[in-house]
């Protein structure tokens, strides 16, 4: 198991300056951001930048998201602890670890097998036992374990994939960047009494969601 106290003061500074100062209030999200060691999820050459206010490369042309973006997207799911969450775009596994800290079970999908392998090993070393990984096209979700109380898509999509709306539980929340392949607007989608409500929040930039209900490869 990895020693999570290493770099604690850097995490405290990150949370104070980048997360709470910008309005993230959910105490559980703040606790998760203080707990999970972000430096474990970046390549050694970027370790000294792990707590800085920007995304970093994780190989294969992909990125680990900016800490603030991770915190905001997580807060939008309004997790209380007993939810089952689907994540699309495992990447480094950092966001996966934050989710796993905050809910009962995480299902996470990544299309690049090597990223899944690294993420799985990092989460196991950190002691997380409530995560299932899949290599595949997350734009069509993971119907076997649906419905999900929360769905988080950490790649930019042209629209909300229908499969993901179908796999969202009643009163569930889905967070997704929607727009072009180069820049998007963060959207939160809610399902209430079978109806879908969607709200646009703010501009953001994510790598594209590639797949059957995303951008064509």
Active centre residues (catalytic) = 65
Smallest gap from residue 166 Cβ to ligand SAM (A): 16
The rounded distance, in Å, linking the Cα atoms of 188 and 21 is 22
The rounded distance, in Å, linking the Cα atoms of 13 and 122 is 23
Which lies closer to ligand SAM via its Cβ, residue 91 or residue 172?
A: 91
| Torsion angles phi and psi, residue 140, rounded to 5 | -105, 10
Q: Which two tokens stand for residue 215?
A: 């951008």
Smallest gap from residue 1 Cβ to ligand SAM (A): 20
Reference 15, options 29, 35, 30; nearest CA is: 30
Cβ atoms of 140 and 161 within 8 Å: the answer is yes
| Chain positions contacting ligand SAM, by CB under 6 A | 58, 62-65, 88-89, 91-92, 94-95, 109-112, 115, 137-139, 154-155, 206-207, 209-211, 214
Q: How far is CA 156 from the centre of its chain?
A: 12
Smallest gap from residue 41 Cβ to ligand SAM (A): 6
Which lies closer to ligand SAM via its Cβ, residue 117 or residue 192?
A: 117
């Amino acid at each position: 198991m990895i020693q999570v106290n290493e770099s604690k003061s850097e995490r405290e500074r990150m949370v104070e300056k980048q997360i709470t100062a910008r309005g993230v209030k959910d105490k559980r999200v703040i606790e998760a951001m203080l707990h999970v060691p972000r430096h474990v999820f970046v390549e050694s050459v970027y370790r000294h930048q792990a707590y800085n206010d920007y995304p970093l490369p994780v190989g294969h042309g992909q990125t680990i998201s900016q800490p603030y973006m991770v915190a905001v997207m997580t807060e939008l799911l309004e997790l209380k602890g007993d939810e089952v969450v689907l994540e699309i775009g495992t990447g480094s596994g950092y966001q996966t670890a934050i989710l796993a800290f905050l809910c009962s079970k995480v299902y996470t999908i990544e299309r690049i097998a090597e990223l899944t392998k690294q993420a799985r090993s990092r989460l196991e070393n950190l002691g997380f036992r409530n995560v299932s990984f899949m290599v595949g096209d997350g734009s069509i979700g993971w119907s076997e374990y649906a419905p999900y109380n929360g769905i988080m898509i950490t790649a930019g999509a042209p629209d909300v994939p229908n499969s993901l709306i179908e796999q969202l539980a009643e009163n569930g929340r889905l967070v997704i960047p929607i727009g072009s392949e180069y820049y998007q607007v963060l959207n939160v989608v809610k399902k209430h009494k079978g109806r879908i409500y969607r709200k646009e929040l703010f501009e953001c930039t994510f790598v594209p969601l590639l797949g059957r209900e995303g951008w064509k490869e």
